[in-house]
Amino acid sequence: MLVSSNSYMYEMIRSELTDIVGSEFVCTHEADKFGHSIDYYWIPEMWHDRGMETPRPDFVISPANAQEVSKVIKLANHYHIPVVPWGGGSGSQGGALPIFGGIIMDMKRMNKLIRIDRESLTVTCQAGIIAQHLEWSCNKEGFSTMHLPASISCATIGGFLAHRGTGVLSTKYGKIEDMVLSLEVVTPTGEIIRTLPVPRHASGPDLTLLFTGSEGTLGIITEATLKLHPQPEAREFRAYIFKDFHTAMSAGAELMRSRLQPCAIRLYDETETITHVRKVFNMELAQGSYLVFGFDGRKDITACQMKYAREIMEDKYQGQDLGSKGGDLWWENKYKFFYPGFMFHLPQAFGTLDTVATFDKIEAVYWAMKNVVTENFPQARFIGHFSHWYEWGCMLYARFIFEPQDVPKDPREAVALYNRVWNMAIRAAIANGGVINEHHGVGIKLGHLMKELYGPAMPVLEGIKKQLDPNNIMNPGKMGFKGV
């Protein structure tokens, strides 16, 4: 922010914002500004935990439509004020934090379901709708977005699009970028644009994908059209224990190569099988690696898919069958892992080192990350599971955990330790064919590694940013782009 909150210029800007969205939707209350100063990123949580001040926005704005978003952005350009879009605030990378103050554009007022197209099976909604609310509305009409992440109760559709989010059924239905047909976007200079109405075409580069994953640095997504699916007649799960993680991974990869189209596969390494699966399910499991998968759709087809999948698991890889109950337990408890009491929490230090690689590299990535964490930080635990599977590879959801006694009391030292783990682990992933993230995004957590990941391609991204956002007002300092 360029002016003090005690100055008349601050009040001048407040008046202009009020003129755009109305006084009720220009908030400068301490409680609300505080609420936007912490997301799901460990560092701001720890900062608050240690009694430190977290960076606040100067204004919190709740626009009603794209026109209001456009006007606020034009105003921000005029005064060179940072604008940070905020959906549900459940991002784990610090992507929505107002690190340079300015305007938080809280999108939740833009929560309308605009249209369900029963012929094309699409839904069009404003970007600020909480995903669970959208899903409930679609369910009532007999459909589902099939976007079912743990953060469904909090994150908005715009937030998912901005960070390329994913859900538990991604293996069949895709990530959010596979679900979106088109977007309405307000650009960093305030133009309201629409991307092409369909995602598959030969009409030039795909602008929808340009804005998807841009984390608010290239504009604000204000509306989206997503695919819908009929609710499946059947959804079946089955779980197995394999003697070790390598065998389980081989079985999972084989299942994907079979093109049987499972809706979900989740594989837990031996450690996480013990620390999490047993705890959440409250059941005894043999030593080994737990793998669960499922199919959904027509009942007869699902049964057929399951039959062939079981042959892979049992005949070829000698998995110990935990039956459908073992699989159903995972489905019923899929969000339970993330509730307090089951999720890591301060004063522990923890992070999700998620990455993705092809099948020929994913085990090497796993071991490289695990080795670098456990060898350099022997006090840390490393666990991992593989949650989102593709025809060519899968995503590693690895986590490191420091128990409270191993976390420096000084918050600055804690930040330093935390970032050392991240840097070493992510560099190990990149060196072995991984990327810095699969579905949580980049934010401030990983921005400094973007140049290493992209190499000579990074200036292409920077050029796009500079062209679209000449005054650098949109979420500055995120995704490796420069700050104010």
Partner 1 sequence: MHIDKYTDAILNCRFCFMCRHLSGIGNVAFTESDTPRVRASLLYGVTTGRIQLDNPDVIACLYRHDLSGACRRNCVKHFDEIGLNLAARADIVASGCAPASIQALADSLMQTARWTVDGSGEVLYFVDLYTQETGTVAAAFAKIMAKAKVSYQTVSGGCIGKGLKTLGYLPEAAAAAKQFAAVVEKSGAKTVVVSNPAAYDALVNDFPALGIKLAATVMHTSEYILSLALPWQNPQEVYYLESDFLRNYNSDLPAPHSLLQAVGAKNRPFGTNDEESYTCGEGAVLLPRIDASLVEKLAQYIEARADAPSTDRILVASPYTKLMLGKYTSLHVQTLEEFVAEAI
> Which residues bind to partner 1, rule: CB under 8 A?
25, 27, 29-32, 34-36, 38, 40, 45, 48-49, 51-53, 60, 62, 86, 88-90, 106, 108-109, 111, 128, 130, 132-133, 136-137, 139-140, 151-155, 335-336, 338-343, 345-346
Contact (Cβ atoms closer than 8 angstroms) between residue 291 and residue 315: no
**Which CB sits closer to partner 1, 155 or 248?**
155
**Which CB sits closer to partner 1, 199 or 347?**
347
**Which CB sits closer to partner 1, 21 or 468?**
21
**Closest distance to partner 1 from the beta carbon of 60 (Å):** 8
**Which CB sits closer to partner 1, 165 or 288?**
165
Q: Report the Cα 262 to chain-centroid distance in Å.
A: 22
Contacts 24+ apart (CB under 8 A), 23-28: 25/61, 25/62, 25/63, 25/64, 25/109, 26/59, 26/60, 26/61, 27/59, 27/60, 27/61, 27/62, 28/58, 28/59, 28/60
**Which CB sits closer to partner 1, 127 or 357?**
127
**Which CB sits closer to partner 1, 153 or 189?**
153
Contact (Cβ atoms closer than 8 angstroms) between residue 241 and residue 290: yes
Residue 374's alpha-carbon distances to 76, 188, 346, in angstroms, are: 46, 43, 21
Cα–Cα distance measured from residue 469 to residue 218, given in angstroms and rounded to the nearest whole number: 7
Cα–Cα distance measured from residue 309 to residue 238, given in angstroms and rounded to the nearest whole number: 10
Query: DSSP of 350-397, one letter per residue?
Result: EEEEEEEEEHHHHHHHHHHHHHHHHHH-TT-EEEEEEEEE-SSEEEEE
**Which CB sits closer to partner 1, 27 or 380?**
27
Contact (Cβ atoms closer than 8 angstroms) between residue 128 and residue 85: no
Question: What is the signed CA dihedral for 365, 89, 99, 64, rounded to 10 degrees?
Answer: 130
Cα–Cα distance measured from residue 406 to residue 62, given in angstroms and rounded to the nearest whole number: 41
**Closest distance to partner 1 from the beta carbon of 159 (Å):** 11
3-state secondary structure of 344: coil
**Closest distance to partner 1 from the beta carbon of 82 (Å):** 18
**Which CB sits closer to partner 1, 90 or 171?**
90
**Which CB sits closer to partner 1, 85 or 188?**
85
What are the residue ranges of helices labelled H in 2-87?
8-21, 30-35, 42-49, 66-79
**Closest distance to partner 1 from the beta carbon of 433 (Å):** 32
**Closest distance to partner 1 from the beta carbon of 165 (Å):** 14
**Closest distance to partner 1 from the beta carbon of 139 (Å):** 7
**Closest distance to partner 1 from the beta carbon of 25 (Å):** 8
**Closest distance to partner 1 from the beta carbon of 388 (Å):** 20
**Which CB sits closer to partner 1, 342 or 367?**
342
Burial 78-98 (b: 16+ CB within 10 A, else e): ebebbbbbbbbbbbbbbbbbb
**Closest distance to partner 1 from the beta carbon of 24 (Å):** 9
3-state secondary structure of 264: strand
φ, ψ for residue 433, nearest 5 deg: 105, 10
**Closest distance to partner 1 from the beta carbon of 371 (Å):** 30
User: Kind of pairing, strands 103-106 and 59-61?
Assistant: parallel
